[in-house]
Structures are given as C-alpha cells and as structure tokens.
Chains A and B, each alone.
Chain A
Amino acid sequence: DGGITQSPKYLFRKEGQNVTLSCEQNLNHDAMYWYRQDPGQGLRLIYYSQIVNDFQKGDIAEGYSVSREKKESFPLTVTSAQKNPTAFYLCASTAWGGASTDTQYFGPGTRLTVL
C-alpha cells in the first residue's frame, strides 16, 4: 500500500540526548515536510524539502536538523539544543509541481517525550 510511515510511534528521550525520527514515503512524492504539534495548537512547520539534497528552514527550525539523501526518506533529528522538544511530530509529503497546488498527505506521527 502507498503511504507515509513514521517510526517510532512513541519515543522517550533523556535531556541532553539527540534523537532521530524516521519518515518514509512510497508515494513517489518530491516534497516532504516536518511539523510540530503542541497540545491545543495547530501545526507549525519545522523543515521542508522540495528535492533530494536540498531543504529549507520552516518557522521553528532551531534545535532541529534534517537530511534528504533519498527521495523517499526525510529523517528529523531533535538535538539537545531544542529546549522544549516534548510534542507530537508529523511528517507530510506532496507531489511538487513547482506551484502550490498539491495537497499534503500526512503520516501517523511520532510522540516524543523528554524524561
């Protein structure tokens, strides 16, 4: 089945540790996105990538890093520099046609908790 997978579903991190969240898609989509969701809040954009080996910062990129070595994969690393990383993280992808006409489809999310 085509879709977006995120792993793990739940992740616990000790303070000072870096952790990496996985996002994989087999939809042959060009663009991929990472969002953060806090309780009672909408989604905020962390990073996005329109093509392989290229990515841009979103609105809240500080304390996060990404890579896009393969079209189907867009892992997000939450570094120790992120002061309040406990949140729900959602990955999305879309077929990038060079214009804002394509719908973003989302993965099931990873819930990160700092102990």
Chain B
Amino acid sequence: AQKVTQAQTEISVVEKEDVTLDCVYETRDTTYYLFWYKQPPSGELVFLIRRNSFDEQNEISGRYSWNFQKSTSSFNFTITASQVVDSAVYFCALSEAHGNNRLAFGKGNQVVVIP
C-alpha cells in the first residue's frame, strides 16, 4: 500500500528565509510518481511538480527546488527567499503505476511566512 508522510505540521519563517518541507513515501511498486501541490487560503490545489521514479534529477524552478532521493524514499521541497505569498499548505502525493492513477496524500505542511 502506498503511504506518504509529512512530519512537520506547521512551519513559520520570516520573509526571505529559506524553508524546506520533508516528504517520505512508501510503495511496493517499482514505478511510481511523486507530486507537490500548493493549497493557498482560497482552497484550490495548485499543481507544482511531478517526478517519475526513474528520474532522480533534481530540479530548480525559480525560487522552488526539489530533492528526490530514492535511497531514502524522500522527495523534499525547498522555497528559497520566502515571500508572504508562499503562505499556504503544501501537500506531497504519490501515485503508483499500477494504482489506477489514485493519489495518496500526506497530511500537508502549513507554511506561514511572517513579513
């Protein structure tokens, strides 16, 4: 069974600080897909990134970066130079190749950026 753990519940940072969100996953499938979504106060989930299990290349997109390590089953997400608009709940999710595209979500990280 697939499982996603986001241990930190709420993280507060002062504006311009970096913040890293941890995500640890469990799966028996050898092919799987990892996602990060952002949920601002409005409630809608906004897709940020998707990673395939066979692609461990880390990625940087603007102030966002992702660190995927299969050896530790982790898919961590970093916001560099945080801004107030980054305040949101961030969800890590996992989809197995043989799981009918079902997503398993972690409980989310509430990020609060203090001006």
Contacts and interface: CB of A to CB of B under 8 A. Distances in A.
Interface of A: 31, 33, 40-45, 48, 50, 56, 58, 88, 90, 92, 94, 96, 99-109, 111
A48 B101 CA distance: 10
B107 A41 contact: yes
Given A100-B31, A108-B44, 18 more contacts: A40-B9, A40-B108, A41-B107, A42-B91, A43-B45, A45-B102, A48-B101, A56-B100, A58-B102, A92-B45, A96-B101, A99-B97, A100-B33, A100-B99, A100-B101, A104-B101, A104-B103, A106-B44
A88 B108 CA distance: 15
5 contacts: A42-B91, A99-B97, A100-B95, A104-B47, A106-B47
Contacts, number: 69
Interface string B82-112: 0000000001000111111111011110000
Given A100-B33, A103-B47, A103-B50, A108 B42 contact: yes
Interface string B23-62: 0000000011101010000111111001010000000000
Contact of A90 (B32, B45, B102): B45
Nearest to B29: A100
Interface of B: 4, 9, 31-33, 35, 37, 42-47, 50, 52, 91, 95-103, 105-108
Contacts of B103: 33, 43, 45, 104
A100 to B, nearest CB: 5
A56 B52 CA distance: 25
A102 B33 CA distance: 9
A25 to B, nearest CB: 14
B49 to A, nearest CB: 9
